[in-house]
Amino acid sequence: MEERIVRAFPVLPGKRQVLEELIAAVRERAVEMTDFYSRFGVARETWHLQEDDGRTWIIAVTELGPAAPGVLEVADRYSASEQEFDRWFKAQVLEISGIDPNQQPLGPATEHVFDSAHLGAG
């Protein structure tokens, strides 16, 4: 069963440049990033920047592949991972957002409140 995880992380004041550097770094480290995603069963992930009222947010949308374990298992494996790339990535998330992926691997809590696929036909 494919699952989607949506998270919004604050970008701390003064950390926008660090975010831009992270985006450049993961593009440069594409092989490691692809391995990272593969190990956690991620089929696709997109990041979206939102600025509102002087605040900046990065919204991450992660689609787990059909063979991936459930969201909670993926989150547990991610938070527990000690692989070098994973430690580096989690440190970047912490610096940029103030959210520690070792403690909150899914980031701040989100609630799924609407899905157009569940609208009735009238």
Domain that holds residue 19: 3-104
Determine, yes or no, domain membership for 39: yes
> What is the helix (H) or strand (E) element at residue 94, kind and residue range?
helix 84-97
Determine, yes or no, domain membership for 100: yes
DSSP reduced 3-state for 46 = strand
Question: Are 58 and 19 in contact, with CB atoms under 8 Å apart?
Answer: yes
Determine, yes or no, domain membership for 114: no
pLDDT tops 80 at residue 121: no
Task: Render pLDDT for 30-67 as a digit per residue (tens, 0 to 9).
Answer: 999 999 999 999 999 999 999 999 999 999 999 999 88
CATH code where residue 85 lies: 3.30.70
Total number of domains in the chain = 1
Determine, yes or no, domain membership for 121: no
In whole angstroms, give the CA distance from residue 35 to residue 29: 10
Determine, yes or no, domain membership for 42: yes
Determine, yes or no, domain membership for 120: no
Alpha helices in 9-83 (DSSP H): 16-28, 30-39, 71-80
Task: Render pLDDT for 65-120 as a digit per residue (tens, 0 to 9).
Answer: 988 888 999 999 999 999 999 999 999 999 999 999 999 999 998 998 998 988 87
Task: Render pLDDT for 1-26 as a digit per residue (tens, 0 to 9).
Answer: 579 999 999 999 999 999 999 999 99
Its pTM stands at 0.90
pLDDT at 16: 96
Determine, yes or no, domain membership for 113: no
